[in-house]
Structure formats: structure tokens, C-alpha cells
Structure 1
Amino acid sequence: MKLSSLQVLDAFVRLGGTGEAAQGLEMSQSAVIKALRLAEFELGVNLVTTLQGRLMPTPEAQALTQRAQPAFAALRRARHEADMMRVGMVDRLRVVTVPGLAHSILPPAITAARRAIGDAAPVEIMFDHVAAHLAAGDADLAITYGPLPDEGLRNIALQESPLVCVLFQTDPLAARDEIGLEDLDGRRLISYGPDGFSSADSFQQALTKAGLAPRISITVRHTDSACHLVRERCGVAIVDGFVISSGLTEGLVVRPLRASPAVIAYAHHREGAHLSQSGQVLLACLMERAP
């Protein structure tokens, strides 16, 4: 089966249709359909069905791609590496993180690191699926609310922060110096949802210890989403205090949560894996900001 047909089949099932696959692969829809028909001929399996006038994956196509996910993931990584080679980013530092920390502690550390190494090293920042990226060797350094349970990883505590409340300027609670749990009774609360890769996520543990986890009404992945919701007066955002340095709270009010448990940011890299000079410098910059 041709490599191009495998890529098309992966995109077709993953994105849910020929039009979506064509858009994702930046090719014509007719080329996608032709590749799928060729794959059907080569495999002897029906991969495409028509549902309400649209070409959709068959159960056989879905089962096939589910079993072949490791191969498809390897293909996507190879294609990504080829793209990076084409734009001259072969020797880049690959950093994977979660959106909350990408908005706060990571940018100033990258700025400091690039000053230290003469702005010479290219950097690629990736989001989510942190453990999978590390396991596959797709990332050199990770930053999360860990720790991560993988025994093959180093978990390095970087910085601690309490939970804070982000409020609209006219919110009555904005006049308080700090906010207690009782002040949030009856309020719609916005916060990050569980990340799905670490049972020891320090942010979720802080929410749980504070008694707020079951009271969250709106979950988001990105800090800017939480802040935009506050601007639209959808509720009070409960995030970590790292957000204060991000600039995302401009025009809003940030107040500490009284007696808040600590949220801890961690860096991770694989034991025994060589960390490049730029990775070592970035890790040192992250650690310098730690208390």
C-alpha cells in the first residue's frame, strides 16, 4: 500500500470525511477520493460509504486505522520532521507543555535562554499529549503541572503558586484583598479540566484540596479562554497565580484564594537522554526563577 494512500486513509478517518481530509492534507478532494479507492482495491476492503450524500469512513476503515495507529503516528512524525528539515529546523530544541504554563513561566525563560546562547538555537513548542511526546522521543524537554509517573523521567520542581481568582472589574468580589471559599458560593466557576495524562496533576490536586473541583461549571484548556469568559461575565476563573505574569489578565482583577494549596510547575526530561546545550540552558533559566 502506497505511503500517500496511508496518509490519506489516516486523515480521512481521523478528520471524518473526504473534504476535511483534503483540507488537512492540502490536496484536492478528488485526489483524496482517488487515493481511498486505490487503497480499497489494494486491500480488498470497503473503506468509504455514502451517508446523507457525504463520503464517510466505514466501520472497516475505522477498525483498520485503530489497529494501525502506531504506524500512522510514525508517519505523521516523519512527515513533520520532513517539514522541519525543509525550513531549516533540524537541530531545534523541542519543548512540549500545557497551555497554562506556555502562557506564563515558559516565555520569559525562553527569552533568557536565547539571550544566553546568542539567539542561535531554533525552538519548537508543542502542546498537550506530554507523556506520549516524551515516550516517542518527539520532545527534549517538557513542562507541566506534574509530576509525571513514568519511572524513566526526571521530575524537576520549578515554581509554586497559589490558586487565584480572576474577576471582571465590576464584580463585587473585586473589592476584596483576598477571596475565601465561602465567597464563591453560588458563583459560576471556570477552570482547567483534567489533563488526562497525569493522575498527580498538581493543579487538579490543588482544586480538589480546596474543595473546588466538583464546583467547576466551565472547563477550558487555555488560560486565554478562561480570561475571555471572565470578560464576557460568564463567571469567576480559578487559575494558578503564574497567569499574572502572562498579561492575559490585563483589564481584569486577580485576587488570591485564601489558604490555597500550592500548584507546582515541573520540568521533565528522560533519564539518560542527552539534553542539548540549548535544553540545558532553558532548564537552568526555568530553575533560576524557582524559589
Structure 2
Amino acid sequence: MDRREMTIFTTVMRLGSVTAAATALDMAQPSVSKAIALMEHRLGFPLFERIRGRLIPTAQAALVLEEALRIEDELARFDRYLDDVRHLRAGQLRVAATPALALNLLPLAAAMFRRDLPDFGLALDMHLNHEIAGLVERGQYDLGLAVIPTADEREELTVVRRGRIVGVLPTAHPLAAQVAIRWEEIDPAELIYITTDARLVMLLAAGIPDFLNRQQSATETNRYSIAVHLVRQGMGATLVDEFTMIGAAAEGLAVRPFEPELKVSLVMALGARRIARKAVERFVASIHSVLDAERPW
């Protein structure tokens, strides 16, 4: 008994006659009668007794009906699930990002994604820069976002946007009045060093000969968010990638391009789950919209 035959059988059982079933199914009455006869022939037992022109269900038909209704419910649920998948209303998108991106950029992108796909699940986690590609490769996440030196771009990572290192200063700082800032203009004693990612530290060291010669009294932290909050408290200035400042509260802060230009890239690692591919595309489109709308300086 295939799905079409099951529908015919359950409709006849529910409505009590071939005529009523044919009308409900938009079929010709002889077609319904023929379908029932073919089912009975293949099954090897009668589903109905013909008594004075009426179909009376047999005991076997009552047993078949119970299972057929259960299967119909499961098939209807499966059809709804396929429709949900088709329209991205089922499943969950799992995103990993660096702490700075997870705290600032991702919530803005997630809000756009949620408005577009309100029924699609979303999991957002933060991990260190060097961990993210491996987590995606192992299938723990569908999408991973990290910031790397542009010179470190590689084939398995997709570039979302290229940017640069910027300086973050209190708005009252003398350098905040400039269009850009240079290393020789920064007092080393007031620089807040960020040690969270060796690749970005080496990028700064390569572009700034004296960068690693920090004073003993220097302030250090392994979190961009802490460094930015320290700047807001007037404790000095810091150097971060521009993507860190997307979505960050700008009150009390001035963000200026750092010269010479030190290039960084916002990159993404993509997982292999096909079910999440369209959702990934929507989320990445949301990221692009945020980047287009927000500019840290």
C-alpha cells in the first residue's frame, strides 16, 4: 500500500462510502473503487464487505486503519519538517567567534538574522582566534569568525572583509583631534597592551620596531573588551583591529586609523553541514550589512 492508496483507504474508512471519499479526494468514483480492489488483491485479504451496495469494513481493515492513521500522522509531520527546512524554519545555526566579535559584532548580526529567520535556532559561542578553524573543521560549529593578519590568509578561510589596526583613545586625548595616529606620537607609558593573539601581536611588532620593548609599568590584558574599557576610564590608549570596535559602545572613545597601515582580515571558516548552508548565507549577509552600516571612525 503506497501513500496514495493509504489516503484513499483512510478516507473511505473515515467517510463511510466510496462516493463521499471520491468527492473529498476529487476523484472519480470508479477510480476509488478500482484502487480499493487493487489494494485488496495485493494485500491478500478483504478490506471491505459489499453488502447491498455498501462497503462494510472488515476486522482486518480496522487493524490496518489504526496503523495507517499513525503512519499518516508521521508522514504529515515529515512533510511539515521538509517544508520547514525548505524555508529555513528548522534546525540550528552554530556560530563561533572571537570574544571581541562575539560581544560586539555578532549581536547586531544575530538581531538581523532573527528578524529574517525567526524560527531558526541560533547558538553563539566565543573562542580564541587560533581555536576557531579547528572547531568548525571538527563539526562543532557551522560558521567560525576570526581576525587574522591579512598576510596569513589561506585558502580554507573565506575573507569577509579586510581592515586595519586602529588606535582607541579617550575623546579628551590630544591625539583624538587627529585624522590618524602614529606610533611615535603615542606615549609608551600610556599604551594598554593586548596579549590575546600571538599573530596580531607579531603583526604589531613587525610594523612597530619598539612595540615589544614595553615598560615594566605597562598595563596588559588578554581581552580586547577589557582594554577598551580601560581606555574609557582614561587609563591610556590601545591598538586593536577595527572589527573589534564594530558595535562597541562609542561613548567616551575616539577611534582613529593607525599609521603605517597594518592590514587585518575578518575571515570565516565554513562547516560541512548542508542543512545549515542557507542559514550561514543569511547570517553572513547580516554581518555584511552590519559592517556596511557601522564604521568605527
Aligned letter for 1:262?
K
Aligned to 1:247, the other structure's residue is in SS state: coil
Aligned to 1:274: 274
Rate the CA distance shift 1:213–1:124 in 2: closer, same or farther, 3 A: farther
Aligned to 2:274, the other structure's residue is in SS state: coil
Assess if the C-alpha contact under 8 Å between 1:163 and 1:206 holds in 2. no
Give the paired residue count: 194
Residue segments in structure 2 that go unaligned for 5+ positions in a row = 1-89, 293-297
Rate the CA distance shift 1:249–1:124 in 2: closer, same or farther, 3 A: same
- In angstroms, what is the RMSD of aligned CA positions? 3.2
Q: What is the CA–CA distance in structure 2 between the aligned matches of 1:174 and 1:150, rounded to whole Å?
A: 32
Aligned letter for 1:161?
G
TM-score with structure 1 setting the length = 0.56
Percent identity between the two aligned chains: 24
Aligned letter for 2:173?
D
Q: Does 1:207 align with 2:204?
A: yes
Q: Does 1:223 align with 2:220?
A: no
Q: Does 1:124 align with 2:117?
A: no
Farther-moved stretch of structure 1 (230-239 vs 215-224): 215-224
Residue segments in structure 1 that go unaligned for 5+ positions in a row = 1-89
Distance apart, 1:102 and its partner CA: 1.9
Larger radius of gyration: 2
Aligned to 2:12: none
Aligned to 2:108: 108
- Whichever structure has more helix as a proportion of its residues is 2
Q: What is the CA–CA distance in structure 1 between the aligned matches of 2:287 and 2:270, rounded to whole Å?
A: 13
Assess if the C-alpha contact under 8 Å between 2:157 and 2:269 holds in 1. yes
Q: What is the CA–CA distance in structure 1 between the aligned matches of 2:153 and 2:134, rounded to whole Å?
A: 11
Aligned letter for 2:207?
A
Q: What is the CA–CA distance in structure 2 between the aligned matches of 1:183 and 1:284, rounded to whole Å?
A: 38
Aligned to 1:187, the other structure's residue is in SS state: helix
Assess if the C-alpha contact under 8 Å between 1:104 and 1:243 holds in 2. yes
Assess if the C-alpha contact under 8 Å between 1:140 and 1:275 holds in 2. no
Assess if the C-alpha contact under 8 Å between 1:209 and 1:261 holds in 2. no
Q: What is the CA–CA distance in structure 2 between the aligned matches of 1:275 and 1:215, rounded to whole Å?
A: 50
Assess if the C-alpha contact under 8 Å between 2:175 and 2:181 holds in 1. yes
Rate the CA distance shift 1:240–1:138 in 2: closer, same or farther, 3 A: same
Rate the CA distance shift 1:248–1:210 in 2: closer, same or farther, 3 A: farther
Aligned to 1:172: 174
| CA deviation profile, 1:186-210 (whole Å, cap 9, x unmatched) | 33322432436xxxx4x44542332
Aligned to 1:189: 191
Q: What is the CA–CA distance in structure 2 between the aligned matches of 1:92 and 1:224, rounded to whole Å?
A: 28
Aligned to 1:260: 261
TM-score with structure 2 setting the length = 0.55
